[in-house]
Structure 1
Amino acid sequence: MTISYRKKPSIGFIYLVLVGAVTALFLVWGMRRPALEEVWRMDIELGLGERPPLTADEMALLQSSLTAHPDLALFLGEDQHAGVFSANEDGKVEGSYAYIVRNVDTSGLLVVDYAGVSRKGSVRVTARTVGSRHTGVCRRDEPYTWRLPQEGPFPQLVEIRLAPIGKKGRPSPVRIDLGGTP
């Protein structure tokens, strides 16, 4: 059976459908969480130690926010030119990861050393920025050091992962310093 007459949609109907689609896209776009709000949420969760390490997408979002808003580094670093902004106590980290933000004018020497008198075992340290990665070991008598590459004229985000060597569980507490000497 064939229909001998088929009416095509009018220009007004096509316009109405397009306006509806554009309106729906605008509403979906407007309901997304803004990047700086996401950074603020991650900062709070990292500071409390209430979240797993950042994913690659979250790290890229944080670095792009630092690039777009350089003053954000002072907020994350607690008004210092470089600082640990994940869970720490004056640079002493007891967890398995830490995040540092550094400004361009800060030395790029990252030093990870044992904190306090607890120097049991060795700790494998994996440090990475958005564009570089370095792995080493922090031993009882030898701190881990890495000269961070300069990746641009903007603040730099550094992720540090810590893992005990030869045992399970959390690594021994370490002190993280950016700009110091080993």
Structure 2
Amino acid sequence: MPDGSDKKYLEYVHGRATELRRTAYLLCGDTHQADDFVQETLTKLYARWPRIGRVDNVDAYVHTMLVRVFLDDRRRGWWKVRLLTGQDEPPPVTGNPEDRPAVRAALARLPARQQAVLVLRYLCDKPVREVAELLKCSEGTVKSQTSHGLTRLRTLLGPDHREPAVAVSRERS
């Protein structure tokens, strides 16, 4: 690539890799698959890097690419071959609600778009407008997917599921 744009690409990647990896992990719940999603996204970004100067918000562009890689992977799930049949390594314990196994398992059972909307809205703390831009849909679609996803999560988690703050306060007393 001319004019040192390889250097600019590498600077961008090194500055954003951790955030991209976190978002990918929140979307899929598997560290290895998250790494694959980030790698695929960064490979596609490298191919488009010479034209990236025309993009107004590079971060939003890259996050859209990452979400698209996740959604594309979920669409082709039935024919995908899994090479390892063993148990995935557990995610690191950080005390965050998004790392809780029950919530992660329930999220994984949602349709891919509902899962993406909930992760982007609540775990990545993105506003409705930004999620709509990332997913290339209307704000109304984001709101309805959020509503349907939360309803389904409540059903999957059952009536015994408590909010983390409630569970912590009861354990202390």
Pair in the same fold by TM > 0.5? no
Greater percentage in strand? 1
TM-score by length of 1: 0.26
TM-score, scaled to structure 2: 0.27
Which structure features the higher share of helix residues? 2
Q: Which structure carries more relative contact order (alpha carbon 8 Å, separation 6+)?
A: 1
